[in-house]
Amino acid sequence: MLPGRKAYWGSLELHSYQDASAVVRALSPDEPVIINRPHAAARAARFFAEKFPGKSLYAVKANPSPELLQVLWASGVTHYDVASIAEVRLVRSVLPQAVLCFMHPVKPAGAIAEAYKVHGVRVFSLDTQEELDKIVRATDGATDLSLCVRLRVSSDYSELSLAAKFGIDLADAAPLLQATRQVADALGICFHVGSQAMTPFAYVQALERVRAAIVDASVTVDIIDVGGGFPSIYPGMEPPPLEDYFGAIHRAAESLPVSYSSELWCEPGRALCAEYNSLVVRVEKGRGDELYINDGAYGALYDAAHVGWRFPVRCLTEDRSAVQTPFAFYGPTCDDADYMEGPFLLPADIRAGDYIEIGMLGAYGAAMKTRFNGFGEGMVVEATDEPMASQYMGNRRDPRHSDNVVSLR
């Protein structure tokens, strides 16, 4: 039997350890190890459930782990943003009572029909007349639909833009809003300011576009969905407290010309799950300021490779130098693109055989893993210590004392 306390999530048995160092001492793993921290995800879920002035829809794509879904549900998250029929089936199988919202603006007709007729989905998003017509046909002209028209807004204040692919332009939105109002039981407007929005002003600016769209179309709106983009903490990226975002959104939404009974929604993904996972990797080789590790661009470090995301790291080997040196990583595959520039600050004398914990990988980490080149195996355990950074513990420094973060206050 492996050392460590056993924990159970659904039918899955996980071993629980104090921290990543305890995992390495017990297992000396040859493959990467994903560490779950259910208490961190539960804390984030309670924060949104208690403090966001509306409904929070977890964006399942950020991390579709069934164990995580159960943690979020138990902590007050009852609505889920699903973006494919596979996500619809997954969440419905894990959480039979959850409210599912199919928020991908371009969906196969068969997926819409199955979602509506088999899985009880009543909320759909769209950004074209063609998609509206498709939803009406696929649901046989249903009269109980909540339909959210996605408006294109700026991603200027976010680290990753989501402004190009989806969303109708403000100038073209009025006819689509009017047509949707004719067939929807509840009409919504949704948008996405981009991933890792670094200032609440991103939402204030977007909500001003929503105001203009409502006025232009002269329609009654029942749902305002501000989407995702709520930030987590990473090296070089310390956003304002989430309370600032919630307050700014509440004030801006309160003044919109909407139905007196309208609802305010959001779709947090990263903010609910970033702190849930970290990753233990082993150094296989060192070459100057480059370390070859056993996970990478085709594993849980997709963002580190493809968008240059920096994650917090720490060496788990004792008695290494206190002098921190910037390193880049190569992953285990044969592809030169399996490279993560970083920089990742680690002891200057780190060497092959040492282990590294990479933190804040709960969002778009494990969810991005592939089996390319025969890699991608690894075990999952739990740890009871805290994540490397947190938006929710009440002990973080206020970044507004520095000069590199824009804030509304």
Whole-prediction pTM:
0.91
Domains and CATH numbers, the chain: 15-37+277-383 (2.40.37.10), 39-273 (3.20.20.10)
Sign of the C-alpha dihedral computed for residues 292, 296, 301 and 306 taken in this order: positive
Spatial separation of the C-alpha atoms in residues 118 and 149, rounded to whole Å: 23
- Block residue for tokens 């030169």: 336
Instruction: Return the pLDDT at 409.
Output: 33
Token pair, residue 189, equals 């407007």
User: What are the DSSP E strand ranges found in 61-174?
Assistant: 79-82, 99-102, 123-126, 146-150, 158-160
β-strand partners of 347: 324
> What is the Cα–Cα distance from 213 to 203, expressed in whole angstroms?
15
Residue 240: which of 202, 188, 185, 206 has the closest Cα?
A: 202
> Is beta strand 223-225 parallel, antiparallel or unpaired with respect to 195-197?
unpaired
Per-residue confidence of the chain (409 residues) as pLDDT tens digits? 334 444 444 445 679 999 999 999 999 999 999 999 999 999 999 999 999 999 999 999 999 999 999 999 999 999 999 999 999 999 999 999 999 999 999 999 999 999 999 999 999 999 999 999 999 999 999 999 999 999 999 888 777 777 778 889 999 999 999 999 999 999 999 999 988 989 999 999 999 999 999 999 999 999 999 999 999 999 989 999 999 999 999 999 999 999 889 999 999 999 999 999 999 999 999 999 999 999 999 899 998 888 888 999 999 998 998 899 999 999 988 988 899 999 999 999 999 999 999 999 999 988 888 888 878 888 999 999 999 999 998 765 655 554 444 443 3
CA–CA distance, 203 with 229 (Å, rounded to integer): 9
CB-CB neighbours of 30 under 10 Å:
10
Q: What is the pLDDT of residue 129?
A: 98
Please report the pLDDT score of residue 13 as a whole number.
65
Do strands 99-102 and 186-190 pair parallel, antiparallel, or not at all (unpaired)? unpaired
Q: How does strand 277-287 pair with strand 355-358?
A: antiparallel
Q: Report the pLDDT value the prediction gives residue 152, as an integer from 0 to 100.
A: 94
pLDDT at residue 160, rounded to an integer: 74
Q: How far is it, in rounded angstroms, from Cα 310 to Cα 294?
A: 17
Amino acid at 170: L
Task: Write phi, then psi, for 115 (nearest 5 degrees).
Answer: -60, -45
Q: Tokens for 383? A: 């740890």
